[in-house]
Structure 1
Amino acid sequence: MPRASATLPEYWDSYKPHREEGEQPAPSVDAFEWTQYQGHGPGAEFLGSPRTALELGSAEGKEAVYLARTGVEVTAVDFSAVQVARARRWWEGTSRLTFVHAEACDYLARTDAMYDAVFSIWGAVWFTDPNALIPLILERINPGGTLAFSQAEPIEDHYGAQAMYGNGLAGRKLTLLRWSYAPEWWADLLKRTGFVDIDARVLPAPDPADVGTLMVRASAPR
């Protein structure tokens, strides 16, 4: 079996790399996006109304910043030291926002913090063994709190841990492993773990011929 997180941090260090002439500017933060299509799908309301939130796989930190600016106390965790350092530079001085460099399972296993919401947008939930990650998430959500995540819809009949070379087919071998499952599989795992009020579905793209988005939301029992 693959270990919980089988992607090298080095891959994420190069995610959305800097421009050659210098560091790219901070992105604008004017919306909370779950899908790969701007303005398509739900916004921050998909999380409910949390007072505290944890993002797993925060990368640029846009959604974490968006929530913090609305008054939510946000902790944003990412596997890449480069991504975390860049986010800290970009969003220095943002109130109620903390960036943490850690692997998702490691962070959840060692922290004592509890959250009203845990979320992942094409982030750690896609790139971490869910059988290891989901039980750890449940332990850190307050009663009645929300788990929500999104990722690309799975390719039909091609489910499970899927490996690829993260930097293409030339150069150093950087293994990228993603766990892709149908909505029904996610619903079953969440139910067996102890989550309730589970909603797992594929949100079609604006053009139905394009790749849709897996959207999952569940609640911790009260």
Structure 2
Amino acid sequence: MEAVAAAWERYAAGRAPRRTMNAVGATTWLNWTQYPDHGPSESLLGSVHGRRVLELGCGTGCNLAHLATLGADCVGIDIAPGQRAKAEARWGDLPGLTFRTAEATEFLAGHPDSFDVVLSIFGPVWFTDPAILLPLVRQSLSPGGVFAFSHRPARPDQEPRGALSEARAVSRWDYSARQWAALLSSARFTDITAEIIGPPAGECEGTLVVRAGR
């Protein structure tokens, strides 16, 4: 686990911080895709006002901060220790927002029925064995809760093989929308939608966006 945390810490160190304002002048916003100002809004989660929200792999907290401004009670976890410091430096004065350094499965195992919404944007859902992660996510959701995540789609010419070696320490689970839907159904999620969001003009790769309920 230390090697994985160190790999993500190195990755985070090379990432540029999110800009302070988006194309329409907002200072907080939620971005599901790898492209700025593109893709669905937070409405994918339903109303978050007064709801308990957990983000897996929150990074510097920019997506979660937006949900906090909408009245959600938010917790963000990230395995890279430096990300918590960056998140707290930028968003530490925002009420209803807490950041922790934690590995996703370990955190979820200790918080049954704790959250109304669990989300992961290019986060641990892509990098954790779903046979382990999905039951823990469902366990952590309250009845009627929502689970949503996004990541790049599996390449059409690549058979998903489970763990794919990356950066020596990090593994990735590449599955199609159909395969994710089947996995979520097997883990007893309901109301499952999984689709590829088309890219903006000039780009060729879409984004897989998945939503399910408990």
TM-score over 0.5 for the pair:
yes
1:89 corresponding residue in structure 2: 89
Give 4+ residue runs of structure 1 displaced > 6 Å after superposition: none
Whether the 8 Å contact between 1:53 and 1:72 is mirrored in structure 2 is yes
> Is 1:175 aligned to 2:173, yes or no?
no
Q: Give the drift of 1:83.
A: 0.9
The secondary structure found in structure 2 opposite 1:95 is coil
Shift in Å at residue 208 of structure 1?
Answer: 7.9
1 or 2 for the larger relative contact order (CA 8 Å, sep ≥6)?
A: 1
Which residue does 2:130 correspond to in 1? 130
The aligned residue for residue 191 of structure 2 is 197
Query: How many angstroms apart in 2 are the aligned matches of 1:7 and 1:193?
Result: 29
TM-score (norm 2): 0.88
> Normalised by the size of structure 1, how large is the TM-score?
0.85
* Distance in structure 1 (CA, Å) of the matches to 2:155 and 2:163: 12
Kept in 2, the 8 Å contact 1:120–1:148? The answer is: yes
- Report what 1:42 is aligned to: 40
Q: Give distance in 1, aligned partners of 2:140 and 2:178.
A: 24
Any stretches of 5+ residues in structure 2 without a counterpart?
A: 21-26
Displacement of 1:203 in angstroms is 1.3
User: 2:75 aligns to what?
Assistant: 75
1:149 is aligned to 149
Provide the aligned length of Structure 1 versus Structure 2: 204
Q: Please say which of residues 96-105 and 198-207 is displaced more in the overlay.
A: 198-207
Q: Deviations over 1:55-79 (max 9, x none)?
A: 0000111011111111100000111
Secondary structure in 2 matching 1:8: helix
Query: Aligned AA for 2:164?
Result: Q
- CA contact 2:113–2:139 (8 Å) conserved in 1: no
* Superimposed CA distance per residue, residues 64-110 of structure 1 (whole angstroms, 9 cap, x where no aligned partner): 11111111000001111111122112211110001011100000011
- For residues 14 and 34 of structure 2, the distance between their equivalents in structure 1, rounded to whole angstroms, comes to 21
Following TM superposition, by how much is the alpha carbon of 1:190 offset from its aligned partner in structure 2, in angstroms?
Answer: 0.6
Contact 2:112 2:139 in 1 (8 A): no
- Shift of the 199–25 alpha-carbon distance from structure 1 to 2, 3 Å rule, reads closer
Counterpart of 1:13 in structure 2 is 9
Deviations 1:132-182 (A, max 9, x none): 0010000111111110000001112331221122xxxxxxxx422111101
Q: CA deviation at 1:121?
A: 0.3
Structure 1 equivalent of residue 31 of structure 2: 33
Determine helix, strand or coil for the equivalent of 1:125: helix
Distance 1:196 1:78 in 2: 27
Residue 163 of structure 1 aligns with which residue? 165
Distance in structure 2 (CA, Å) of the matches to 1:25 and 1:216: 26
Residues 112 and 141 in structure 2, CA contact (< 8 A), matched pair in contact too: no
Classify 1:89/1:26 alpha carbon distance in 2 versus 1 (closer, same or farther; 3 Å): farther
The structure that is helix-richer by fraction is 2
CA offset at residue 205 of structure 1? 1.1
* Matched-pair contact (CA < 8 Å) for 1:9–1:80: yes
Q: Counterpart amino acid of 1:69?
A: T
In structure 1, stretches of 5+ residues that fail to align are: 166-173
Equivalent residue letter for 2:189: F
